[in-house]
Structure 1
Amino acid sequence: MKSRFLLLSSIVLSSFLSVNSIAQHRLSDNKEHISPLTREYIYPTRIVWSEGDVLQAQNLLNEGDGQANLTNTHSVILKNTGKATSSILVDFGKELNGSVEIVTGMWAGNAARNIRIRMGESVSEAMSDIGEKGATNDHAMRDFTMKLPWLGKNQTGESGFRFARIDFLDADAELHLRELRAIATYRDIPYLGTFKSSDERLNKIWDVGAYTVHVNMQDFLWDGIKRDRLVWVGDLHPEVSTINAVFGYNEVVPKSLDLARDATPLPGWMSGISTYSMWWIIIHYDWYMQHGNLAYLEEQKPYLQNLVKQIISKIDGNKESMDGTRFLDWPSSEDPLAIHAGLQSMTILSLEKAALISEFLKDEETKKLCEETVLNLRKHLPEHNQSKQAAALLSLSDMMDPMQAYNEVLSVGGAKNFSTFYGYYMLQAMAKAGKYDEAIQIISTYWGAMLDLGATTFWEDFNMEWLPNATRIDEPVPAGKVDIHGDFGAYCYVGHRHSLSHGWASGPTAWLSEHVLGVQLAEPGGTKYRIKPNLGHLDFVEGTFPTKFGVIEIKHSKNANGKVISKIKAPRGIKIVK
């Protein structure tokens, strides 16, 4: 009898090990299907509003264990009498990408309960109906009904949000909530780059720009986590600049660039926009300069060669005549003169970068073709039409004197007519004119205004003219006040459709690391850097910058005479040059 038992045990154990081995083998064969994303539970930080019969609401602020059980003492009770409904709105403290999970308690009977949930990037969006001031479910479901089980839990799909409103819908019934929490989905990666100065407002702006990009680093690099959960290649350029300054190398960048390439067989333009295919070239140049992966650059060679020929085929004499959507950014989209000036400049910038990439790849034919075309394009100087977008690109492409661009256009009205996307290039053009402190003031005024309105991430667009009488996004809108989210916006981002977490708005983070902390690449490959600080009115600035061999540690401070004293520590393998 004993021998049979031992034999049976041996067979069972052998079967278990065999199944376990198969499972391990399957996992190892499918690593490309393992998510790079982490899930973290985020609990509400405050109750913003409630209505109806809501008992023990503050219990929703308690961190729990996510498990339903038979103890009901700590539940929040929403009680409906007749057809009257009870509701509650919570704040998770910061914008995030993820879902909402609800853990339920025990009520009389075991019938499921019906709720409506509305997630919002602002209080006003979470309080709105679909169609009200542009509120929508585009790209992500953020307003819908769902059932909750008795003594169980349920999750929503993902969206970008900070606030969540729960409406209990069942007549003459109770709903017991043990927990209401967000499940944030993000890449668990360290912030290798840092920035700290004597100006706390500037420090906060750097941090928020970094977080805005981080929250959009999902499976691919998105532009927005609520709307525009897509790979928009032009929008990636400021995002990639921020990634280089904050996170260093991350696979989400080449993965997204390759997606755009593979999804856009020529003669198509990426995202249907000629400048976006040009940005693809510029991003590849910047990525190689920082990380020096020649093998990856080689993979782009066939597509790049044909893209260059396609761009050149759209030149009429010495003027660009790009087809597809002719686009710089939304605020400039109704100005054909500015768009032409921008496209002429973008064509020059992209072909110049393509020539340098071709030099890295030892492709003399493409390099020569690019250089000859650029010389021809420089014979035509377009009109900027007082557009800050156009003037910035004309300056950056050396088609306009930097001081002239600053004095005639960029300085006019200060932060007026800045945009969250092309504001990065306006700042770069100001730096080229040596107007560093003036650029710092613009950053503080324009991007800082979003922080004053309660932002924890930077927005798809912002206009200084929206400010008078505006309510913060983290407060209900009182009568007689302006709804900063619902009452403004244009083009594709009217009202609540407006994304309040848009990666293209992160430009100040990259700019501050490059021009104030002063970190600039000296040679391709990411091993030689120049440190050229521009403190402006700041007393000191310190921080780190990620490289392939570790972080560069930097501190600049002014002495009693105003002279900047620098302390720099570079990792082995990184050379600091003058």
Structure 2
Amino acid sequence: MKNLKKIILLSILTFSMLPVFAQKASWIWYPGDFDIYMSNVMQNRRTERGSFFPVFWKMDSHYVLVDFHKEFTLSQPEEVRLFVEGTYHVKIDGQAITGFPKTINIPAGKHKLSLKVYSQGTVPAIFVQGKTIVSDDTWLTTFEDKEWIDQSGKVSDKSGTTFVSAGSWNLSDPNVLPSTFKLPVVAQYAVKKEQAGNGYVADFGKETFGFIKVHGLKGKGKLSLYYGESKEESLSIDKCETLDYLEVNLANKKDSIMPLSKAFRFVNIQADNAVTADSISMLYEYSPVTERGSFKSSDAELNKIYDVAKYTFHLNTREFFIDGIKRDRWVWSGDAYQSYLMNYYSFFDAPTVKRTLLAQRGKDPVTAHINTIMDYSFYWFLGIYDYYKFTGDKKFVQDIYPRMQSLMTYIDGRKNKNGLLEWMPGDWIFIDWADKLSKDGEVSFEQLLYARSLETMALCANLANDTANAAKYDQDAKALKTKIFDLYWNQNKNALVHSRIADQPTDNVTRYANMFGIFFDYFTPEQKLAVKEHVLLNDKIAKITTPYMRFYELEALCAMGEQSYVLKEMKSYWGGMLKLGATSFWEEYNPDKKGVEHLEMYGRPFGKSLCHAWGASPIYLLGKYYLGVSPNAPGYETYTIQPNLGGLEWMEGKVPTANGNISVYINKKEIKVSSATGVGRLKIKSKTKPVVKDAEVKEVSKGIYEVLIEKGKDYNVRYSG
């Protein structure tokens, strides 16, 4: 190990002497391995009151021995530098090179460079830099299973020629080993402090995340830090969720940074009498994403809701999309699925979506649902096709398709005698945090997600050139949809009932399956109207109190043109949190609660997360259903703009895509549009035919008009709203 460290250090020291190369290299590894490794690192940072708090599910690991190779043809000899994390073996054209070379010379002609790397504690990874020979995702990898996987998802022996690419995170600095990857930090300071006990409570002004730094620490004894998303939590030294204890023995002043990042707004600093500290600050830790999406309107409260939603979402965008920054800081699939959708209307950060999907799925064989939750396995499937729809990245779907197949095979094997899914040992049926929500029997919500996942499998199978299975998945989906309506639709209640127990449908109607059925487009037009009236707008049906499922409830209403109603609901629900002083949006909000009741959850006085990713859904709703922008073909090759003011006087915003932004401004008489991508269709509801220069206006139905939007052109449309 000492020799290996010397080799790596020498390689790093000599890299600065390399000539300027035309092509950029990056660290590479077996696909998915670094994603799994880093998710393990991140998710095992969770603590509660200083104790390690591990995840609830099986954690996979990286392959410890990986073979990398690349074939190439050189017109002239080339000097190549090698950087490796792990113990390694190098071959050129099948001939081994002695020792651990950090520089190799490859003659002109056709050659094959191979590196086999072993690393138990970290992910085997390589960084190769020559003038034309560079490590990137065109390199081939295997974990010595004697099989190579091609881009269609099929398996061939090593004589095959078309293979899956290596994995990478675009880590392009050979001086920084992948295992040392960290998010950036920036110093921030408290806005005020208030005396408390033997110390004080520092207020950082809003919800934040990072490492506390203690300045000028001196003395002998204990320094205690009690963190709080609320002031009440920070003052509760016995019940606050997170804390740090620091044993101090310093004769001279010294600064100290806490080893683990924490979520907080308030920090209560208490010290023994013999311990002193000059002040505290923090190192704010963040993901360096670019804020591309935007929204602004005539409603100041709605603008505040949007801004706080985006801040909430950014705080929960880390190495991966996580649920909440105080608790749990884990990669939950249901939470992440909503984050993907918010991301497409804000940061459009495709790499974090891919990393999260790979980390969630882990390795074969499949032995449990993702996060052990049945519904969360289904959200994982849906997230993959959505990623393709928004980005157009077909290759990712092809690469991950074998893992989709094995998970679906596991799920198919758990059907009961009726061909439906219900709870089995080892499963957790979640749906939502709600009192008295039955999970017994064959729950209609789970069957609906199952059908949608089978449809997704059919679409992805076609992308992976697996036509035989595409037909099978499609047939299975259609059969299950028919069964759902045969077994669960109650004509008298105008809705899908919640479940079947002992082969009989219950009378219970909940919102969940019914609202998903609307935006999945599973209902007839008549059924949609019936569900809207008898379920979604019916106060007798149990209300939803989590932003998690409010997301889908409001989406279903928006899909049916109820933007005016939804706008009032957003202002009431998210605005209600703002009126209570929220600086980020919560895991759960029940307007009927009072005072510190809002901080309670899971039987703990401060158990609730006050910064939860699923609380940021206005980002998605405002982008898709108010600005009205959504892709029709993968990667916004074609798209629709169908703005809906929903009672606003005006609104404007940008929706990001892989190739640039789509900008929309609308008031009651005018719409302005410009786009950097694809071909769009602006749909307008107008009493008279809209007027626009240099574009044709078509009436597609009574009072509905379309304008073709071309890339790079500005449009100013006059209409009568």
- TM-score of the superposition, structure 1-length normalised? 0.79
**Alignment of structure 1 residues 84-483 onto 2, 5 Å:** 86-104=198-216, 111-112=219-220, 114-130=222-238, 132=239, 135-137=240-242, 142-147=243-248, 149=250, 150-156=252-258, 157-170=260-273, 173=274, 175-177=276-278, 179-262=279-362, 265-316=365-416, 317-321=418-422, 323=424, 324-331=427-434, 334-336=437-439, 340-378=443-481, 379-381=483-485, 382=488, 383-384=497-498, 385-400=508-523, 401-413=527-539, 416-466=543-593, 470=594, 482-483=595-596
RMSD: 2.6
Name the stretch that deviates more: 351-360 or 24-33.
24-33
| Residue-by-residue CA offset, 1:163-206 (whole Å, 9 max, x unaligned) | 10111222xx46241x3111110012221000001111111212
3-state DSSP of counterpart to 1:119: strand
4+ aligned runs moved over 4 Å, structure 1: 16-19, 22-27
Distance 1:339 1:23, change over 3 A: farther
8 Å CA contact retained: 2:188, 2:282 = yes
Deviation at 1:143, TM superposition (A): 4.4
2:195 is the counterpart of 1:50: yes
1:479 maps to: none
Code of the residue aligned with 1:374 in structure 2: it is: A
Q: Aligned partners of 1:333, 1:390: CA distance in 2, in Å?
A: 17
Greater mean deviation of Cα atoms: 406-415 or 93-102:
406-415
CA separation of 1:17 and 1:99: change in aligned 2, threshold 3 A:
closer
1:557 aligns with one of 667, 674, 686: 667
Query: Which amino acid letter does the alignment assign opposite residue 344 of structure 2?
Result: N
Give the 3 Å change call, closer, same or farther, for CA 281–19 of structure 1 in structure 2: closer
* Corresponding residue for residue 105 of structure 2: none
1:319 Cα shift?
3.1
Q: Which one-letter code corresponds to 1:154 in the other structure?
A: S
Q: Partner of 1:80 in structure 2?
A: none
Q: Deviations over 1:225-261 (max 9, x none)?
A: 1111111111111111111110013422211111111
Is the CA contact 2:421–2:442 (under 8 Å) kept in the aligned structure 1?
Answer: no
- 1:507 equivalent to 2:617? Answer yes
Relative to structure 1, the CA distance from residue 452 to residue 405 in structure 2 (aligned partners, 3 Å threshold; closer, same or farther) is same
Q: Aligned with 1:534: secondary structure?
A: coil
User: Is residue 672 of structure 2 the alignment partner of residue 567 of structure 1?
Assistant: yes
TM-aligned CA distance change 1:127 to 1:322, over 3 Å: same
Q: Cα distance 1:18–1:291, how it changes in 2: closer, same or farther (>3 A)? A: closer
Query: In 2 relative to 1, CA 115–408 (structure 1 residues): closer, same or farther, beyond 3 Å?
Result: same
Cα 1:337–1:176 change in 2 (3 A) is closer
Give the distance between the partners of 1:251 and 1:19, measured in 2 at CA: 27
Amino acid at match of 1:50: Q
Superposed displacement of residue 521, structure 1: 0.8
Instruction: Return the structure number with greater relative CO, CA threshold 8 A, min gap 6.
Output: 1
Secondary structure (helix, strand or coil) at the match of 1:496 reads: coil
2:219 match: secondary structure: coil
Within 5 Å, give how 1:65-84 maps onto structure 2. Answer: none
Query: Does the CA contact (< 8 Å) of 1:327 and 1:333 recur in 2?
Result: no
Q: Which has the higher strand share?
A: 2
- Listed one character per residue, the Cα deviations across residues 508-566 of structure 1 (whole Å, up to 9, x for unaligned) are 2111100001111111233322111111110111011111111111111112xxxxx21
Q: Which runs of 5+ in 2 are unaligned?
A: 1-8, 18-80, 84-172, 489-496, 499-507, 683-721
What is the aligned counterpart of 2:655 among 525, 528, 545?
545
Shift in alpha-carbon separation, 1:356–1:322, aligned structure 2, 3 A: farther
Which residue identity does 1:508 align to in structure 2? Answer: P
> Per-residue displacement from partner, 1:254-292 (whole Å, max 9, x unpaired)?
111111111574142100012111111100111111111
Q: How many residues align?
A: 492
Question: One-letter code of the match for 1:529?
Answer: Y
Letter of the aligned partner of 1:180 in structure 2? Answer: I
- Going from structure 1 to structure 2, the CA distance change for 1:433 and 1:305 (only over 3 Å counts) comes to same
TM-score for both structures, normalised by structure 2: 0.64
Counting aligned pairs with the same residue, the percent is 27
Among 14, 17, 24, the residue aligned to 1:21: 14
Task: Give the Cα–Cα distance (whole angstroms) in 2 for the partners of residues 426 and 332 of structure 1.
Answer: 18
The amino acid that maps onto 2:514 is A
Q: Using a 3 Å threshold, how does the CA distance of structure 1 residues 359 and 148 change in structure 2: closer, same or farther?
A: farther
Give me the whole-angstrom Cα distance separating, in 1, the residues matched to 2:566 and 2:247. Answer: 48
Cα distance in 2 between the residues matched to 1:211 and 1:568: 26
Where does structure 1 lack aligned partners over 5 or more consecutive residues?
Answer: 1-15, 52-84, 471-481, 560-564
Contact 2:423/2:440, CA 8 A, preserved across alignment: no
Residue 220 of structure 1: how far off its partner (Å)? 2.1
Query: Which of 20, 27, 37 lines up with 2:183 in the alignment?
Result: 37
- Partner SS for 2:548: coil
Is the contact made by 1:327 and 1:339 (CA closer than 8 Å) also made in structure 2?
no
The separation in 2 between residues aligned to 1:332 and 1:535, in whole angstroms, is 35
- Greater shift in the superposed pair: 91-100 or 281-290: 91-100
- Structure 2 residue identity aligned to 1:91: D
For 2:681 and 2:596, locate their aligned partners in 1 and report how far apart those are by CA, in whole Å.
Answer: 51
Quick one: distance in 2 between partners of 1:31 and 1:440?
A: 48
Matched residue of 2:606: which SS? helix
- Offset at 1:337? 6.5
Matched AA of 1:93: G
Whether the 8 Å contact between 1:544 and 1:552 is mirrored in structure 2 is yes
Q: Distance in 2 between matches of 1:568 and 1:359?
A: 34
Offset of residue 365 of structure 1:
2.1
Secondary structure (helix, strand or coil) at the match of 2:592 reads: helix
